[in-house]
Every structure is written in structure tokens, then in C-alpha cells.
Amino acid sequence: MNYRAAFWFPIGLLAALAGLSLWLQYALQAPNAGTPLTRKHIADYIVENFNATRTDLAGKPENTLSARKTEHFLDDDTTQLEAPDFTAFDKQGGTVNVRSAHGFVSSKGDIIIFTGKVILVRDLHDAQGPLTLTTEYLKVIPKQHLMLSNRPTVVQGKNILIHAGALQLNSQTRELLLSHHVKTHYEPIH
Amino acid sequence: EKADRSKPVNIEADSVTVDDLRKVSVYLGNVVLVQGTMTLHADKIVVHQDAEGFNSATAYGNPVSFRQKRDGVDEYIEGYADRMQYDGKLGTLQLFDNAHLKRGADDLRGSYISYNSNTEFFEVKGGNNTAGSPSGRKGRVSAVIQPKPAKPGPAAPATVPLPPKPTNGIQKNP
């Protein structure tokens, strides 16, 4: 009798273990794993006081991105930012800095979206002084040096105030296109 | 009015492209520029800025039109042209091509008109692109200056009519 029990006990144990691992795998993978709704949007890593710099081939900084808190999500490879702070440097030594309450970085890192009290300050270090843009939404495409918004925008500079419905800024060519009913106020010259 | 120059400039348009390198802003689409009593309507206005702010503007339209109140008089000056150049600092306005200026009942046409709102001095030049003058002759300046009504001054003293001169020695009874 002992011989039979000694023979069957390990096999039974192995079978139980196999069944357990199958059950575990089944439990983790929901039946319709393909639909996003049921996939778990869970942060796989969280970084506090995050800071990153992108440089050109010569090692010169092209843009920097920092945030109080960063959460990366495994399922879609995107990143959520808290209090992001982005700065782009142009060839003439000017800077464009963007700050907001929240930020989002696409999976390939080629698009950054800023939302909530977005403040963009463009400083060309010239006599006219910095230009400050405020809006609620801003989409930044660093590679194309483009910054876009389809929300109401206010532009404040020295002796100038502009209201517009949408904006497109090219930080390399330094051209700012404002559209959807523009109102500009120039202070008088004394 | 003279005070217009010290007033802020407000511009409304469909869109604007601000070129920070050259300090030039191009306004497009139903553009309206207002400074004090002056109003300018155009299809496109190019604004040049300097360190202090608004410097000058070039307006393009079909035509560009402007209207400004005259200083101390309840009367307006109106102008029309294919292109206008406005200098915010000097307060001068230049009208190019098919230029037409109306001041009250006065009417001026030419290919170029310059108008200084401080001195209210204007200069008109003929040329090919002269607004259709009443006489229809191209290249000429046309000006219609209405006589100003005589101001009702103090009553002139009654003049005693001279007795008619006797002719051939015969005294005429008045």
C-alpha cells in the first residue's frame, strides 16, 4: 500500500500545482483581454521630482521636462505628469517655457499635452521683453517645435494684450498664429 | 482729433500672425483698427512694432476706408484708398492708389493723398491710379472745396449811396 501511495502522491501534487498555475493565469487574463475597458490601467512605475533633458547631437540642450510626480502606465505606455514644466531652447538663444497643473506624454514621447492653467512664457531676451500666453489646453510636438491650442488664449506682452480663440506657435521660426476672432490692444506710446 | 495719438490702439480681425523676429504682426480678415475717434476698416493690416509697442500700420483693402473726427468741430474726415499707411507716432495717414478724401462737403481725389491729423494739412498728387474724378480725366488731381458760409459778424455800417454822376452836364434828379 505504501508503495502505491509513494508513487501517486508526487503525481497528485504536480497535478494540483499545474491546476493552480492554470487557474492563476486564467484569473489574471480576463476572458476578453482585447477590449481596453477591461484592461487594467495600472501605473507600473511612479517617479517623484522627475527631470529629463533632450540634447542635440552636439550635446546642447534642446528641451527639458520636469514634473512633481510622474506615473507611467504599462498597458498603453503613456505617462501622466503632475505640475509639469517644459522648456524649449531656440537657436537664437530664446526660450519657451510651459507650466500647467497636469500633463500627458504619448507612448512614443512625441506629443506632450498640458492641461489646467497652462502658462507659456516666451522670452527672446530682447527689448520687448517676454510674451506670456495663458490657456487651458496646449499640445506640444517638440520635434516639430510646434505648440497648438484650440481653446481661448490670452497673450500678454509689454504694451500689448491679445485675446484669441486658438493659437499655433512655432518656437523655431518664432511665428505665433492666433485665430478665431482676435482682439488686440496696444497701449499708447507716451 | 489731436488727442487720438495718445489713445490706445485696438485691432480686431479673424486672425493674426505675430513674427517676433521681425516684430511684425499681420492681421487678416475683416480687420478694424480703432484709435480714439479714428476707425480704419481693411482686409489686411500689417503692424510694425518697436520696443515701445505699436509703431505704424499698413492697411490693404478693396478699398481701405478710414473715418476720423476733426479737432474741435463736429465734423468727420473720411478717406478711401487701395492702400493706407498710418504712422501712430506722427499721427499721419497716407493714402495710395485711388485715393479719395472727404472733409465735410469738400472732396479730394488723386493717386496719393497725405493727411496730418495734427495740423489737418493734406497734400494731394495725381498719377495713374487716380480715383475716378468727376471730369473723368485720369492722372489729374480733383478737388471740390465748398465755400464756407459767411460768418454772421457785427452789422456792417449802412453805406450812403453816391449820387449818380451827371452825364453831359445834365443834373439828374435822384
| Residue B142 or residue B44, greater confidence | B44
| Grid cell of B34 as nine digits | 480703432
Residues 41-100 of B with CB under 8 A from A: 47, 49, 51-54, 88-89
Q: Considering only CA atoms, give the Rg of chain A.
A: 27
pLDDT at A115: 97
Average pLDDT over chain A, rounded to whole? 86
Of B6, B26, B7, the closest CA to residue B16 belongs to B26
* The three grid cell numbers given for residue A29, joined into one nine-digit string: 487574463
Mean pLDDT value of segment B54-74:
90
Q: Do B14 and A181 touch (CB under 8 A)?
A: yes
Q: For residue B132, name the pLDDT band (cuts at 50, 70, 90).
A: low
What is the residue extent of each domain of chain A? 1-30, 37-186
Higher pLDDT, B165 or A91: A91
Residue B172 has pLDDT above 70, yes or no: no
ipTM: 0.74
**Pick the residue with more confidence: B22 or B39?**
B39
pLDDT at B126: 78
CA A78 to chain B, closest CA, distance in angstroms equals: 33
Q: Record the pTM.
A: 0.75
- Contact pairs from chain A to chain B, CB under 8 Å: 90
A contacts of B87 (beta carbons < 8 Å): none
Answer yes or no: is pLDDT of A12 > 50: yes
Closest partner residue to B54 (CB to CB) among A127, A177, A186 is A186
pLDDT for res B174 = 40
Tell the burial category of B48 from Cβ atoms under 10 Å away from its Cβ (0-12, 13-18, 19+): middle
Q: Which fold has domain A37-186?
A: lipopolysaccharide transport protein A fold (2.60.450)
Q: At A48, which amino acid appears?
A: E
Mean of pLDDT values over A10-35: 71
pLDDT band at B170 (very low <50, low <70, confident <90, very high): very low
User: What confidence score (pLDDT) does residue B5 get?
Assistant: 78
DSSP assignment, residue A7? Answer: H
Calculate mean pLDDT across residues B124-133: 67
Q: What is the mean pLDDT of residues A81-92?
A: 89
Higher pLDDT: B145 or B10? It is B10
Q: How far apart are CA A139 and CA A105, in angstroms?
A: 10
The x, y and z cell numbers of residue B72, run together, are: 474741435
Q: Which residue of B has its CA nearest to A157?
A: B53
What's the average model confidence in pLDDT over A84-107?
Answer: 90
- Closest Cβ–Cβ partner in B5, B10, B16 for A185: B10
Q: Which residue has the higher pLDDT, B167 or A11?
A: A11
| Digit-coded pLDDT (tens) for A37-54 | 456 788 899 999 989 998
pLDDT digits (tens, 9 = 90+) for B58-67: 999 999 999 9
Check residue A9 and give its pLDDT.
Answer: 81
CB contact under 8 A, B15 and A174: no
Quickly state the pLDDT bin for B39 (edges 50, 70, 90): very high
Instruction: Enumerate the residues of chain B whose CB falls inside 8 A of the CB of residue A95.
Output: none
pLDDT recorded at residue B25? 94
Lowest mean pLDDT among A19-23, A30-34, B89-93: A30-34
**With contact defined as beta carbons under 8 Å apart, do A179 and A164 qualify?**
yes
Q: How confident is the model at residue B15 (pLDDT cuts 50, 70, 90)?
A: very high
Q: Which three cell numbers stand for residue B145?
A: 472745396
B20:A124 CB<8 A: yes
- Cβ contact, residue pair B14, A182, below 8 Å: yes
Pairing state of beta strands B15-19 and B9-13?
unpaired
Give me the phi and psi of A24, to 5 degrees please: -60, -45
Q: Three-state secondary structure along chain B?
A: CHHHHHCCEEEEECEEEEECCCCEEEEEEEEEEEECCEEEEEEEEEEEEECCEEEEEEEEEEEEEEEEECCCCCCEEEEEEEEEEEECCCCEEEEEEEEEEEECCEEEEEEEEEEECCCCEEEEECCCCCCCCCCCCCCCCEEECCCCCCCCCCCCCCCCCCCCCCECCECCCC
Least Cα distance to A148 among A168, A175, A174 occurs for A168
Closest CA–CA distance from residue B55 to any residue of chain A (Å): 9
Tens digits of per-residue pLDDT, B103-123? 888 888 889 999 887 777 888
Tell whether B24 lies on the interface with A, counting CB pairs under 8 A: no
- CB contacts of B9 in chain A (<8 Å) are 185-186, 188
Closest partner residue to B10 (CB to CB) among A122, A174, A184 is A184
pLDDT digits (tens, 9 = 90+) for A119-133: 999 887 777 788 899
User: How confident is the model at residue A106, as a pLDDT?
Assistant: 94
Region of poorest pLDDT, from B62-76, B101-115, B140-154: B140-154
Mean pLDDT of chain B: 80
Which residues of A touch chain B, with CB atoms under 8 Å apart?
A: 92, 122, 124, 127-128, 131, 155, 158-160, 162, 164, 173-190
In this structure, of A16-25, A48-57, A84-93, B9-18, the range with the lowest mean pLDDT score is A16-25
Rg (CA), chain B: 24
User: Residue B132 and residue B160: Cα distance in Å, rounded?
Assistant: 51
Task: Identify which of A50-54, A107-111, A171-175, B57-61 has the greatest average pLDDT.
Answer: B57-61
